[in-house]
């Protein structure tokens, strides 16, 4: 009979916390080392992948991805990454693009962001299919359709921060890039899920259509959440349980994510699609004052599950198998060239609306791959559509593109070329930062308090504040003041 002590020993054999400690230590050290790099801004995720390669079987052999616990951490980290990717979709931005489309109909559809984004991705997918069939014909790949989807991927998680950093996300150029990246991420994810179902079913099957039930669930939850948010007692209960130890909004978001993962499994589709749709729902139903929930979810993910995922992907990278495979070594440069070609050539369509410099910069930024190409490669590996050596070659392509694509974009779009924003736009962004800071600190003011505070700057008692006086207070040194109230 198995005693409690024996069961404890069995559990200890199944999962070794020493491996987790090494992985977490690597995830902790990587940002510190990466931040020291001055000449080349290496993304943290690249550092995590390299750290995984070092501590994995390829070099030191300290950690291996074996056992249900380590596989769960890797898979859940991937799901959480797709969940965050779904939350990154800014529906306010999409509304602005739609409004811009309506405003620019008379200027020609060739300059329309919706047309350029859709046409660019369609051409990317077409080129990827053609190149993939050539690879299969030359014996360098086994599944043309899966390789086509892998080549079609991009990384909205790379495109969005780079554009925001240069204040380009609100411009027609930035919105066209964002729309193109969004289409590439979402459509390829959907097609990968459908194709995986096709492979599992062994051919065309009605189960391939079950994936669309995820969108039915999406529409139902969207409608239901808006209806319930109007019920006073539910709204009050949620607000009451949103602080301290309850954190009901965070719990609801995580339940939603896991629920859609389970639903994806029941519908025999890929979990990354379910997690992504759950993130979209959170982004869609989250009100402006609740953006702190998204920040908390991101902090939770990027401090634990997501770093573990990238480190374990590095651990699973087998350098010895890659070097021993002549086909994979030959495939790697061809795959890199193909990955750049299917993004740069379609980006030439942007020349109809933008300069040559912007057109080439768009091609460089859209060629960056990261999470989705790694996810697609892992799915292909699980389905035996590629081998370990090919998976390692794809990971190296992702590392190369996500490192150098943003650098090339920065070289083509120097700071001097960034469009000057208006005074009103600058003020709007500063106000957004200020309000976001208040939300982060969870500070609330009574109307009377605000009236009294701003009244201090109404020196002439005429209802208008002295801007310079207000700025002087904001810019001043507050270190000597009692700010415990914050």
Boundaries of domain holding 470: 424-475
Note whether 383 and 448 are same-domain residues: no
Could you tell me if residue 180 is inside a domain?
Answer: yes
Token pair recorded at residue 302 = 């990027």
Q: List, in sequence order, every beta strand (DSSP E) within 213-274.
A: none
Residues 329, 285: one domain? yes
Residues 411 and 428 in one domain: no
> Number of folded domains in the chain?
2
Residues 295 and 165 in one domain: yes
Asked, for residue 32, whether it belongs to a domain, the answer is no
Residue 171 lies in a domain: yes
**Positive/negative CA dihedral, 294, 300, 302, 308:** negative
Residues 284 and 198 in one domain: yes
pLDDT per residue as tens, the chain (486 positions): 445 555 444 444 556 788 889 999 998 998 888 877 666 667 788 888 889 889 988 888 888 877 788 888 888 988 888 888 888 776 666 666 666 655 555 555 667 778 888 889 999 999 999 999 998 888 888 888 988 999 998 887 778 778 877 777 767 788 888 888 888 888 888 888 888 887 776 666 666 677 778 778 877 777 777 777 677 776 667 666 666 665 777 888 888 899 989 988 888 777 888 888 888 888 887 765 556 777 788 888 888 888 898 898 888 887 888 888 888 888 889 989 999 999 999 999 988 888 888 899 999 989 988 788 888 888 888 888 888 888 888 888 888 888 888 888 888 886 544 444 545 556 666 666 666 666 666 666 777 777 777 777 666 666 666 666 666 666 555 544 444 444
Residues 216 and 340 in one domain: yes
- Asked whether residue 254 is assigned to any structural domain, the reply reads yes
What is the pTM for the complete model shown? 0.73
Judge if 130 and 222 occupy the same domain: yes
Of 391, 415, 439, the position where a domain reaches its end is 415
Q: Does some domain include residue 50?
A: no
Same structural domain, 388 and 257: yes
Examine the domain organization and report whether 142 and 200 are in the same domain. yes
Task: Check which CATH number belongs to the domain holding 410 and give it.
Answer: 1.20.1530.20
Report the alpha-carbon distance of residue 470 to residue 468 in Å, rounded: 5
Residue 57 lies in a domain: no
CA–CA separation, 214 vs 82, rounded Å?
15
Q: Does 405 lie in the same domain as 366?
A: yes
> In degrees to the nearest 10, what's the CA dihedral of 240, 246, 251, 253?
30
Residue 400 burial (CB count, 10 A): 18
């Amino acid at each position: 009979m198995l005693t409690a002590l024996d069961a404890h020993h069995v559990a200890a054999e199944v999962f070794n916390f020493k491996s987790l400690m090494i992985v977490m230590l690597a995830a902790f050290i990587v940002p510190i080392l990466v931040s020291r790099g001055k000449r080349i801004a290496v993304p943290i995720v690249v550092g995590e992948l390299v750290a995984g390669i070092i501590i994995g079987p390829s070099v030191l052999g300290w950690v291996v991805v074996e056992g249900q616990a380590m596989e769960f951490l890797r898979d859940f980290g991937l799901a959480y990454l797709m969940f965050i990717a779904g939350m990154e979709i800014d529906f306010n931005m999409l509304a602005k693009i739609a409004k811009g489309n309506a405003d620019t109909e008379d200027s020609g559809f060739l300059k329309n962001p919706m047309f350029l984004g859709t046409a660019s991705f369609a051409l990317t997918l077409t080129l990827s299919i053609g190149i993939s069939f050539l690879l299969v014909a030359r014996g360098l790949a086994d599944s043309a359709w899966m390789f086509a989807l892998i080549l079609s991927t991009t990384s909205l998680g790379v495109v969005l921060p780079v554009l925001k950093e240069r204040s380009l996300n609100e411009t027609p150029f930035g919105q066209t890039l964002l729309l193109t990246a969004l289409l590439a991420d979402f459509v390829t994810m959907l097609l990968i899920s459908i194709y995986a179902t096709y492979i599992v079913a062994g051919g065309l099957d009605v189960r391939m259509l079950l994936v669309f039930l995820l969108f039915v669930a999406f529409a139902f939850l969207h409608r239901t959440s808006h209806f319930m948010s109007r019920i006073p007692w539910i709204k009050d209960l949620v607000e009451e349980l949103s602080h301290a130890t309850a954190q009901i909004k965070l719990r609801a978001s995580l339940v939603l994510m896991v629920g859609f993962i389970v639903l994806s499994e029941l519908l025999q589709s890929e979990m990354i699609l379910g997690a992504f749709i759950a993130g979209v729902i959170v982004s869609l139903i989250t009100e402006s004052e609740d953006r702190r929930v998204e920040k908390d979810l991101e902090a939770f993910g990027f401090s634990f599950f997501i770093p573990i995922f990238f480190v374990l992907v590095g651990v699973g990278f087998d350098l010895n198998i890659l070097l021993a495979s002549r086909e994979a070594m030959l495939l790697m440069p061809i795959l890199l060239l193909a990955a750049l070609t299917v993004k740069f050539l379609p980006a030439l369509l942007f020349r109809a609306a933008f300069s040559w410099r912007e057109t080439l910069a768009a091609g460089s930024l859209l060629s960056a791959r990261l999470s989705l190409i790694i996810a697609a490669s892992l799915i292909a590996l699980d389905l035996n559509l590629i081998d370990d050596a090919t998976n390692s070659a794809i990971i190296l392509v992702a590392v190369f593109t996500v490192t150098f694509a943003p650098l090339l974009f920065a070289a083509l779009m120097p700071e001097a070329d960034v469009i000057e924003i208006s005074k009103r736009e600058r003020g709007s962004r500063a106000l957004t930062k200020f309000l976001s800071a208040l939300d982060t600190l969870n500070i609330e003011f009574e109307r009377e308090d605000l009236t009294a505070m701003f009244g201090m700057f109404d020196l002439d008692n005429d209802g208008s504040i002295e801007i310079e006086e207000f700025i002087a207070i904001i810019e001043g040194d507050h270190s000597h003041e009692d700010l415990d109230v914050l």
